[in-house]
Amino acid sequence: MNRAIVIWCSTIGLALVAFSVPAAERPYVQLRVLSMDSAQRLAAAAAHACRQQGYQVTAAVVDRAGTLLALARDPLAGAHTVEVARRKAYAAASFQSSTLALQANTGMQALNSVPEVLLLGGGVPVQVGGHFYGAVGVSGAPALKVAGDRDDQCARAGIDAIRESLEFSD
């Protein structure tokens, strides 16, 4: 009987230790990545937000690593907007910061020489509910005050279009 109690207590003790391991000590990390459908909805919503204002743009959505997930290009958007939007999204994902904010920091401008990075407004990280999912980049709208400011607004409108589904996905 005593042996059974010792075994039972040992088993419970080991289980408590196993479940109390801090997340920092886990041998893996958990990441959130946009689904294909969410990425496509985000790109379409961002491009549509600009189109409603009369601008023909391209919107690119990338994952956390900057790899392209979705692209929406207005048929009248310039051919160059595809690559520009992707590079803006890549930069926003890499730095987890909006390219409009990075563009304003003159010390960051040297990073424009880094391959794939483009620090012009219009790249916005997708950060919702404390989680980082990737980024969206928009290219093609004319500047209001500074380069990419309208692109930035459209990118944020795209994020707002999927925000609720990300917030309540748990």
Residue 31 — very low, low, confident or very high, per pLDDT cuts 50/70/90? Answer: confident
Q: What is the total residue count of the chain?
A: 170
In degrees and rounded to multiples of 5, residue 137 shows phi and psi of -130, 140
169 Cα distance to chain centroid: 16
Number of folded domains that form the chain: 1
Identify which has the larger pLDDT, 30 or 63: 63
Assigned domain for 59 exists: yes
- Report the mean per-residue pLDDT for the chain: 87
What letter represents residue 77's amino acid? Answer: A
Range of the structural domain that residue 146 is part of: 36-167
The 58-62 sheet, strands edge to edge: 68-73, 58-62, 131-139, 123-128
Assigned domain for 139 exists: yes
Assigned domain for 64 exists: yes
5-14, 43-52, 118-127, range with the lowest pLDDT:
5-14
What letter represents residue 52's amino acid? Answer: Q
Assigned domain for 29 exists: no
Region 145-169 average pLDDT? 93
Give residues with Cβ within 8 angstroms of 165, minimum separation 6. Answer: 38
Buried b (16+ CB within 10 A) or exposed e, 99-134: bbbbbeeeebeeeeeeeebbbbbbbbbbbbeeeebb
Residue 104 — very low, low, confident or very high, per pLDDT cuts 50/70/90? Answer: confident
H helix or E strand, kind and range, residue 68: strand 68-73
Q: What is the CATH number of the domain that holds 152?
A: 3.30.450.150
pLDDT in tens, 39-98: 999 999 999 999 999 999 999 999 999 999 999 999 999 999 999 999 999 999 999 999
Assigned domain for 48 exists: yes
Region 114-130 average pLDDT? 92
Region 8-24 average pLDDT? 53
Assigned domain for 80 exists: yes
